[in-house]
Amino acid sequence: MPCWTRGCPSVRGASAVFRLLRNEPFAAVGGLIYAVVALVALLAPLIAPYNPREILRTGRRVARYMPVSAEYWLGTTSSGRDVLSQVIYGTRAALLVGLTAAVAVVAIGTVLGLLSGYLGGWVDKAVTRGADVVLGLPFLPSMLVVAALTRPGTAVIIGSVALLLWPNTARVIRAQVLSLRERAWVDAARMTGCSSTRIMFVHILPQVLPLAALYGSVAIGWAILAEASASFLGFGDPETVSWGVMLQEAYANQALSRGAWNWFTPPGVAIVLMVMAGFLISRGSEKLLFPKLAEQ
């Protein structure tokens, strides 16, 4: 039966989100950036003026390095492709990489953090030692090594980000679980015969999901930045229209020395906004997740 009462968990959750957006301008701005990017990605075929791979022409000549104009709002590239259309379609690659990698980071980190914090013993030692090893690896060089040893592409970037960023989430979730497992309601669940698996994934998991989601928002920005870096260095998927590939092509064609700022500035600004959005959401969510910080 539908729940319309104020006591419904879904209503309480929605109310908490609306309060956060109303009272925390940082989180509201970050959420707005993500919402706009998601809307642009969804409507890309409708709002993009041209096909991002179409070679445009002016008469019989290829429309190379066209300046900003009413016909080409952000000009064109060295190969005659519309910059605005590429930026718009680049939101799809950004969301694919960002959301997929964030879900993978949160899933791996949350599960390992739960197991480590609740079970303890050799499981805790194995997870913490593994996290220490991964945290000791330089992020970008390690990702590039993985891409070089395998087949460069979007899937490799997503997998590399998930394997290199899970320790941060796992360590925070572990610390939270260490506190939660000593609560009276966990003891009551044990006394009623609940298994460890049920206690972890039914009783404790909902308590740590908001914290995991917070780290997921940060992972979105890291994943997009990683994809842009890998693509810029030639380890991305050249068949994908992405902001990183746009920057790599602009650099290879010496767009800066030619003064073609309209080519490399838009994808750079888009990457900065996406990374900043994750930071703003995490910054704005601190008071909700850590109320004691607001009192200091």
Domains of the chain plus CATH, in order, are 91-285 (1.10.3720.10)
User: At how many degrees (to 10) do helices 261-289 and 205-232 cross?
Assistant: 160
Q: What is the DSSP string of 127-163?
A: HHHHHHHHHTS-HHHHHHHHHHHS--SHHHHHHHHHH
Separation CA 132–CA 274 (nearest Å):
28
Give the pTM: 0.80
3-35 burial: b if 16+ Cβ within 10 Å, else e: eeeeeeeeeeeeeeeeebbeebebbbbbbebbe
Q: In whole angstroms, what is the distance from residue 265 CA to residue 273 CA?
A: 12
Average pLDDT (211-228) is: 82
Instruction: Name beta bridge partners: 82.
Output: 76
Secondary structure of 87-106 in HEC code, one letter for each residue = HHHHHHHHHHHHHHHHHHHH
Q: Write out pLDDT tens, residues 17-69.
A: 556 556 677 778 888 898 999 999 999 999 999 999 888 888 788 888 888 88
User: Which of 138-147, 185-194, 249-258, 278-287 has the lowest average pLDDT?
Assistant: 278-287
End-to-end CA distance of the chain: 43
Q: Cα separation of 268 and 82, whole Å?
A: 16
Quick one: tokens of 99? 């959301």
Helices (H) and strands (E) in the chain, counts: 13, 2
